[in-house]
Amino acid sequence: MSSTVLATRSVMLARNGKQFAALPDLQIGTGRSAAIVGPSGSGKTTALMALSGIRAPAQGDVTIDQTSLWNLSGAARVRFRGRRIGLVFQSFHLIDAVSVAANLQLAARCAGLRPSEVRLDHLLHALGIDDLRQRRADRISHGQAQRVAVARALFNKPAVVLADEPTSALDDAAAAGLLALLKEAAVSEGAGLVIATHDRRVLGAVDQIVEMEALK
């Protein structure tokens, strides 16, 4: 039986001061996955911001790892995000100026943690990118960058991994590969996985699907 790592309750989202969408209540356990779906402009990304502590919801509560995210102070929330939430962005956003290893180590530094060499070795090996360790991030392929982005999201042993449109620019094979990678990594690391997407290919790969509700 998996324990709950992420739960939302009555989350309403606002844009320009006006509520425009509601996120159905969501509960995810360790190693489980969910997709937040909806067409463009439906509020998926805004929902992901609320789940990651970046932008406050108009109302409602987000609990991650038994911590009410929006009850934390700003600084504490930033630190909490660094330590307990792993983020995978649509275009991965690696830091080009430094190596693959440094990209992972910076995730720990940002969260105020000491980067563990053992953890680095483990993740690079688990994701099959050990040979890229010292390669600069702007000198790796798109597929390799995906793996590095996933490894970085997992580096601080987060309670939950949030991914924003990770498959949008990928062909079917690559999308399936990345979804499998994200799910495997989340399961093996005991994290919950939430994917915000409008890509229907994701739906068969996750345990739970929630659709954004537009407010009239």
Partner 1 sequence: MSFVALAFAYLRRRWGQALLSMLVGALGVSAMATILMGFDAVPESARRAWGGVDLVVGPKGSALDLVLCCALHVSDPRGLVAMKTAMAAVHSPMVRAAAPIALGDNIDGLRIMGTTPAILDVYRAKLAEGHMWTDKLQAVLGASAARILNLKVGDSFVGAHGLSAGGELHALFPYKVTGILQPTGSALDRLVLTDIETVRYIHVEQAKAEVAERGATDEEPGLGVPDAATAVITSYRSPTAAAFMPRQIDATDTLSAGSPSFEIARLESYARPLMQAITGLGLLLVFIAAAGAAAGLLSSMNARTRDLALLRALGANSLKIATVAFAEAAMIAFAALAVGAALTAVLMAACQRILAEKTGLLFTPHLEINQIGMVLAGTAVVVIVAALWPALRAANASVEELLQ
Selected range binding partner 1 among 35-43, 44-52, 56-64, 177-185, rule: CB under 8 A = 44-52
| Alpha-carbon separation of residue 175 from 23, 108, 116, 154 (angstroms) | 25, 28, 30, 19
Residue of 12, 72, 98, 209 interacting with partner 1 (CB under 8 A): 98
Give the integer Cα–Cα distance in Å for 191 and 65.
10
Q: How far is the CB of 2 from partner 1 (least distance, A)?
A: 25
Q: Which parts of 123-162 interact with partner 1 (CB under 8 A)?
A: 152
Asked if residue 111 binds partner 1 (CB under 8 A), the reply is: yes
What is the DSSP annotation of 25-76?
PEEEETT-EEEEE-STTSSHHHHHHHHHTSS--SEEEEEETTEEGGGS-HHH
141: which DSSP letter? Answer: -
Q: Which is nearer to partner 1, 66 or 91 (CB)?
A: 91
Closest CA to 166 of 54, 89, 51, 52: 89
Residue of 31, 115, 143, 190 interacting with partner 1 (CB under 8 A): 115
Residue of 75, 134, 173, 216 interacting with partner 1 (CB under 8 A): 75
Give the integer Cα–Cα distance in Å for 88 and 164.
6
What's at 126, amino acid-wise? Answer: A
Selected range binding partner 1 among 59-67, 101-109, 179-187, 207-215, rule: CB under 8 A = 101-109
Task: Kindly state the tokens that stand for 154.
Answer: 């997992």
Asked if residue 97 binds partner 1 (CB under 8 A), the reply is: yes
Asked if residue 48 binds partner 1 (CB under 8 A), the reply is: yes
Could you list the residues that contact partner 1 (CB under 8 A)? 45, 48-49, 52, 54-55, 75, 78-83, 87, 89, 93, 95-99, 101-102, 105-107, 109-112, 115, 152, 164
